[in-house]
Amino acid sequence: MRKIFVTGIGTNVGKTIASAVLAEALRADYWKPVQCGLEPVTDSQMVRSLITNRVSIVHPEAYCFAEAASPHTASKKAGLEIKLSNIILPLTDNSTMIIEGAGGLLVPLNEENLIADLIVQLKAEVIVVVNFYLGSINHTLLTCQELKRRNIPVLGLLLSGSPNEASADIIFKQTGLRKLGHIAQEQVFNKDTIVHYASQFKTI
């Protein structure tokens, strides 16, 4: 199975919308191993509501916590400890799985393990979602540098939100990674907008 892990340069950068677009484009399954926060909907519920193809399956989370916080904090408040050994890739007949991370690459799952350790365990390729804000160049370069240090394969960068050519130019020059596409900041994301953007990513 091809496993594509969607991480971001931080939180709230557009990972869930990007994951929905990728799942639609590749007719892939979707899985969010660790969900923190249930309101207004979980990421899995959002993706399920946006995908229109009849092939993609949204798999249940390995861990789901009410607290909208870092996984290691949310799990403590729930009286649990996240264990990598309990995060097992769901069984499916689909040839591709889109896996959405929680926050960024170095978000802690427990006292020892980070999101990056989960990516290594799953033997996944990575797509980095980049949203431009003050500090986003630094966050992007640090994320890409850590992925390279860990020898994690990166498919490229997926841009999200309002464009910033100056920031994008220096990021692509410094990382040498390819641009996979750009999902703009829309007033509303619905099934139609997901289908529209999916056409960019059918050949990843």
Residue 55: CB atoms within 10 Å: 14
Residue 81: CB atoms within 10 Å: 13
- The DSSP H or E segment spanning 198 is helix 191-198
CA distance 67 to 80: 12
Q: What are the structure tokens assigned to 141, written together?
A: 């370069």
- The DSSP H or E segment spanning 107 is none
Give yes or no: 32 in active site.
yes
Phi-psi region of 72 (alpha: psi -120 to 50; beta: other; left: phi over 0): alpha
Selected catalytic residue, list 32, 76, 77, 202: 32
Q: What are the structure tokens assigned to 40, written together?
A: 């207004």
* Residues labelled catalytic: 32
